[in-house]
Amino acid sequence: MKFVCLLALFGAALAAPNKKLFPTTGKEWTPDSLVNPEELGDFFEGDIMLPLPKMDKNGLLDEKYRWPNGVVSYDFSSQFSDSQKANVRGSMDEYESMTNGCITFVERTDESDYVHFTQDDNQGCYSYVGKVGGSQTINYPQWCLDRHGSTLHEMLHALGFYHEQSRFDRDDYVTIMWENIESGMQKTRFRIKVVSEFIS
C-alpha cells in the first residue's frame, strides 16, 4: 500500500507543469525556461501593443509608421542603470551596423516622436509596431534585459516588423504543426489576414 501511495504521489508531481521550464508570466521566467520571455505578455502575440497599423508582407506599408530618414529618437526611464542603458545601446549599435547606417538611433533632445524605454517588471516585454507618434513605449523588464535577443526583438517591432510566423503568406512556406504547440501558447502563432486595404 505504501508503494501505491508513493507511486501516486510521484505521478502527481510529474503531471504538474514545471513553472521553471514552462512559465506563464514574465516574472516566472528564468534562463532555463523553454519559452521566450517576449511570448509571456498579455498583448497581441505576447509582445505587440495595439492598434495594428496596415502591413504588407512582414512590415508596415504606410509611410506614416516609418521613422523619417531611418532615425529613431529614444530616451530611458529613470529605472535604467548605466549598464542596462549600455546593454540596450549595444542592440541599437548592432542594428546600425547590420543596416550599414540606414537605421540610426539618437538620444532624444526635443523630438516629438520617440521611443521611451521603460522597465515595468509587472508587464512583459512589449513594443508598438512602427512609429505610432508621440512617446511610444518599449518595455524591458529585467528578464528581457538579460537576453540580448529580446532587446533586439522588441526594437525590431518599433522599426515596423511583425513576427515572421504571422506573415499573411506564412502558410505558403511553412506548415504549422498545431498539435506540437503547447496548450495556451497558440495565441502567439496567429496569422495576419490580408485585406485589400493592405495592398497599395
DSSP conformation letters of 87-151: HHHHHHHHHHHHTTTSSEEEE-SS-SSEEEEE--TTS-SEE-SS--SSEEEEE--HHHHT-HHHH
Contacts of 14 (CB under 8 A, 6+ apart): none
As given in the structure block, the three cell numbers for residue 35 are 519559452
Mean pLDDT of successive 10-residue segments in the chain (200 residues)? 43 43 51 56 54 51 86 97 96 96 96 96 87 94 87 92 75 79 62 39
Residue 54 confidence (pLDDT):
46
Q: Tell how strand 71-76 and strand 114-118 pair up.
A: parallel
Q: Indicate if 179 belongs to the active site.
A: no
Task: Find cell 501516486 and name the residue.
Answer: 8
Strand partners, 72: 105
From the number of C-beta atoms within 10 Å of its C-beta (0-12, 13-18, 19+), residue 188 rates as buried
Per the confidence metrics, is the pTM higher than 0.75? Answer: no
Residue 183 confidence (pLDDT):
74
- C-alpha dihedral over 43, 49, 53, 55, to 10 degrees? -60
Residue 96: closest CA among 118, 74, 116:
74
Q: Is 116 a known ligand-binding residue?
A: no
Q: What span, in angstroms and rounded, lies between the C-alpha atoms of 129 and 48?
A: 7
As given in the structure block, the three cell numbers for residue 96 are 546600425
Residue 200 confidence (pLDDT):
32
Classify 55 as helix, strand or coil.
strand
Residue 159 confidence (pLDDT):
93
Cα three-residue angle 104-162-26, rounded to 5 degrees: 95
Catalytic residue among 38, 39, 45, 154: 154
Residue 185 confidence (pLDDT):
62
Q: What span, in angstroms and rounded, lies between the C-alpha atoms of 59 and 62?
A: 10
